[in-house]
Amino acid sequence: MAAPRKLSMKQRYAALTRDLDWDLSYVDEDKAYPYTSFEGIKIHDWSKWEDPFRLTIDAYMKYQAEKDKRLYAVLDSFAQGQGHLQLTDPSYLNAMKLFLQGVTPLEYQAHRNFAYLARFLNGPGPRFAALCQSQDELRHAQTEIHTLSNYNKYYQGMHSWQHQHDRVWYLSVPKSYFDDAVTAGPFEFLIAIGFSFEYLLTNLLFVPFMSGASFNGDLPTMTFGFSAQSDESRHMTLGLEAIKFMLEQDPDNVPIVQAWIDKWFWRGYRLLALVSQMLDYMLPRKVMSWKEAFELYFEEQMLGGLFPDLAYYGITPPRHVEHAIAEKEVLSHQVYWTLYQFSFAAGFTTTIPSEDAQKWLAEQYPQTFEKLYKPLWGKAAAVVDNGGRYFYQGLPQLCQVCQVPMLFTEPGDPTTICQRHTEFEGERYDFCSDGCQWIFEREPEKYVQAWLPVHQIYQGNCGGPTVPDVLAWYKLQPGDNGEIAGNLEQTAWETWHATSSAEEQAPAPVAGN
């Protein structure tokens, strides 16, 4: 007798997502899936959803296990081989602190919301894809924590990231972004996270972080990053599939989807302001400038590749995209200059860019750096030469929508701060840009509820009225924050490298001895 023939990938996928499903007979479909109608998206045939990966449970488990094995082999050799000494400079870890505090909790949020989609989408195809993504996101959160815990043994700023994610001012930027997404309906969430974040913008987040890690001697982060990114390709596919599915199901879906693209492009782009300064300022060895990354990953691939494809359905490039393009020359400089002044209240440290770094910045930004930003660093350096360090003594106005301090400038005028405001029910709300104002005016009832860290400090909800009170409430410890030069991390680093090159050498003398 001939051996039974193995099913092809197509047949296995169909068996999993079609044959194992059944029509409900005891419960109305509306009762079983109560959340897929209120957003106005019309779906006529859920079986039209196709997962191009044709992933099945056996394949998923097999390859995810292999990915984890590879990662943990690297983590072991890192721990055994004193890998924490291989960095270009300890200040590199500021990028990783920002990642751990800002991004890792988002992975966990994504895990939770995709688990919800895995239960509440009507079709078995998208439910299974959401289930895989939910597990991926949990794996990402866990492997990121595990990887970076190796640095936490030696360096500052990584001990209370979960606590800080809910409290610290700049972390309300990623937190509020994701809160906005998970409090939307399931379809908007798919556009917000599945499409806008995972497909449109993910390369601007992950590839710079991972290439930065690779370039700065951080092998474990590079490995977890690539391990996570291999899942990310599946998530990108889910996002793209989701948008095409909605657009193909009913022409009435098109304007709804367009408005979500407009909103979530700008929301995601504002979040990436933090990444822009990471690329241009935080990495000791630079990979590529924000401007170049934006041109490559967004302008070429998305505006040049994706949007012509979506034009078939009547979708146009996102509203306000021209402001993002214009801002690429100034964005990172404005953000880092602000972080420099406020890092006394942050879970990372900042410093004046070195001469080499400033030279690089001038080459990357020939039209703006020398003219507009180099003079600021000159002023900061003069303060340092006189024995001081310039920290801003006050709290900034935050944008009601993106929650970034209002540091951005008018489109086309890099010397005038952009300020917009809207009155709603007798209260005034401020915005950093036309994009954020437009988002507010679509759903003011949602954004008036924003938990703005600066307002909360003034209302007495953040540990007390003084800066030390607030920093204690943030759980910041000595060495976590402030200036890089001369801080705990830098001096420890110098000591380790001095003793590792000459074992007999006595411990480095303490200043003042």
Partner 1 sequence: MTQSTGSTRTTRARQVGVDIQETEENRAVVEAIEADNADCAVRHMPGLVRITSPTRIVVNRESVEQRLGREWETHEFQLAIVSYFGHIAEWDDDQILIQWDH
Least distance (Å) from partner 1 to the CB of residue 253?
15
Q: Which is nearer to partner 1, 157 or 284 (CB)?
A: 284
- Binding to partner 1 in span 199-228, by CB under 8 A: 202-203, 206-207, 210-211, 214-215, 222, 226
Least distance (Å) from partner 1 to the CB of residue 51?
9
Task: Tell me the window of 6-14, 79-87, 345-353, 443-451 that interacts with partner 1 (CB under 8 A).
Answer: 6-14
Least distance (Å) from partner 1 to the CB of residue 203?
6
Strand runs labelled E in 25-148:
none
> What would the x/- binding string for partner 1 be over residues 21 to 60, using CB under 8 A?
-------------------------------xxxx---x-
The distance from CA 26 to its chain's CA centroid, rounded to whole angstroms, is 43
Helix, strand, coil shares of the chain, percent, nearest 5, are: 65, 5, 30
Burial readout 10-44 (b: 16 or more C-beta within 10 A, e: otherwise): eebbbebbeeeeeeeeeeeeeeebeebeebebebe
Tokens of 223: 């490995």
Please say whether the beta carbons of 199 and 13 come within 8 A: no
Q: How many CA atoms within 13 Å lie on the side-chain side of 149?
A: 9
For residue 494, which amino acid is it? E
Count of residues touching partner 1 (by CB under 8 A): 50
Length of the chain: 513
- Binding to partner 1 in span 62-81, by CB under 8 A: 62-63, 66-67
The distance from CA 266 to its chain's CA centroid, rounded to whole angstroms, is 13
CA separation for the pair 341, 361 (Å, rounded): 19
SS3 301: helix
Least distance (Å) from partner 1 to the CB of residue 189?
22
Question: Does residue 317 bind partner 1 (CB under 8 A)?
Answer: yes
Interface pick for partner 1 out of 316, 367, 461, 505 (rule CB under 8 A): 316
Q: Which is nearer to partner 1, 142 or 214 (CB)?
A: 214
- Binding to partner 1 in span 375-394, by CB under 8 A: none
Least distance (Å) from partner 1 to the CB of residue 330?
21
Burial readout 87-102 (b: 16 or more C-beta within 10 A, e: otherwise): bebbbbbbbbbbbbbb
CA separation for the pair 84, 283 (Å, rounded): 16
Least distance (Å) from partner 1 to the CB of residue 138?
18
Interface pick for partner 1 out of 303, 376, 395, 467 (rule CB under 8 A): 303
Question: Does residue 229 bind partner 1 (CB under 8 A)?
Answer: yes
Backbone angles phi, psi at 349, to 5 degrees: -120, 160
> What would the x/- binding string for partner 1 be over residues 257 to 296, using CB under 8 A?
------------------------------x---------
Which residues, 6+ apart, have CB-to-CB distance to 166 below 8 Å? 175
Question: Does residue 328 bind partner 1 (CB under 8 A)?
Answer: no
Q: Which is nearer to partner 1, 230 or 354 (CB)?
A: 230
Interface pick for partner 1 out of 139, 244, 328, 333 (rule CB under 8 A): 244
Question: Does residue 135 bind partner 1 (CB under 8 A)?
Answer: no
Q: Which is nearer to partner 1, 54 or 389 (CB)?
A: 54
For residue 83, which amino acid is it? G
CA separation for the pair 399, 319 (Å, rounded): 19
Question: Does residue 240 bind partner 1 (CB under 8 A)?
Answer: yes
Task: Tell me the window of 39-47, 171-179, 233-241, 357-365 that interacts with partner 1 (CB under 8 A).
Answer: 233-241
Q: Which residues pair with 405 in a beta bridge?
A: 398
Q: Which is nearer to partner 1, 300 or 443 (CB)?
A: 300
Please say whether the beta carbons of 220 and 147 come within 8 A: yes
Least distance (Å) from partner 1 to the CB of residue 215?
5
CB atoms within 10 A of CB 350: 25
Q: What is the 3-state secondary structure (H, E, C) of 360-427?
A: HHHHHCCCCHHHHHHHHHHHHHHHHHCCCCCCCCCCCCECCCCCCECCCEECCEEEEECCEEEEECCE
Q: Which is nearer to partner 1, 309 or 356 (CB)?
A: 309
Binding site for partner 1 (CB under 8 A): 8-10, 52-55, 59, 62-63, 66-67, 202-203, 206-207, 210-211, 214-215, 222, 226, 229-230, 232-234, 236-237, 240, 244, 287, 300-309, 311-317, 321
